[in-house]
Amino acid sequence: MQEDNYSAPAQDKLTLALVDVSIPASYENLTIFGTIIREYCAALPQLLQEALPASETAIPTNYSHLVYCVELVVQEAASNIIRHGYREEAGAGELRLQLSLDASEANLHALVILLEDSAPAFNPTLARIEPPNPLDPRESGYGLYLIQKLTDKLEYWREAGKNYLKMVKYLK
């Protein structure tokens, strides 16, 4: 277990099992995030049980769906940063992913996903999101819609020239 080493607007009261990894921002490297997320999620039930022996409600029922959703929202947010933030330039910057468990609310444990980048400021929580239309399916612009639909809380802030996107997924 490590201390939080970022300053979020609201500090989590109890943060467990922090994973912290940085990669050069490229589509190829996103598979590294994918692998880390799958391994982290695979260890989640045991982590929860060891850290919070009293908790019974913490282990999600539809586990494979949860893992897929977490990998997908990270993939969507990160590839948006690579495309629009870093403009797909090799060596343009890094992407940092932190995963942690927030057990500050008694029966509502959450997986906290924090993405950090040094691209120009962009607040995805303010972007206009068009819902899908099956009568006229689009060929782009699904990423933010998926992030919004698949997370329970979404926060953005900018600090010291960096963008921070915090995505929270409740374990229920």
Partner 1 sequence: MLKIDQSEIIIRLASVKFSGRLDAQAGPTLKNLWQQYNEKGFNTILLDLTLVEFIDSIGISSLVAGLKQMRARGGDLKLIGLQPPARAIFELMMLNQVFEIYDTEKDALKGF
Binding site for partner 1 (CB under 8 A): 27-28, 30-31, 34, 64-65, 68-69, 71-72, 75-76, 79, 82-83, 132-134, 137-140, 142-143, 145-146, 149-150
Judged by beta carbon, residue 34 or residue 45, the one nearer partner 1 is 34
Q: Judge whether 124 and 163 are in contact, CB under 8 Å.
A: no
Judged by beta carbon, residue 5 or residue 64, the one nearer partner 1 is 64
Compute the least distance from the CB of residue 23 to partner 1, in Å.
Answer: 14
Question: Cα separation of 159 and 163, whole Å?
Answer: 7
Torsions phi, psi for 137 (to 5 deg): -65, 135
Judged by beta carbon, residue 82 or residue 114, the one nearer partner 1 is 82
DSSP string computed for 25-73: S-TTTHHHHHHHHHHHHHHHHHHHHHH-TT-SS-S-SSHHHHHHHHHHH
User: Which residues partner with 71 through β-bridges?
Assistant: none
Compute the least distance from the CB of residue 79 to partner 1, in Å.
Answer: 4
Judged by beta carbon, residue 61 or residue 140, the one nearer partner 1 is 140
Q: Judge whether 83 and 124 are in contact, CB under 8 Å.
A: no
Compute the least distance from the CB of residue 150 to partner 1, in Å.
Answer: 8
Compute the least distance from the CB of residue 67 to partner 1, in Å.
Answer: 8
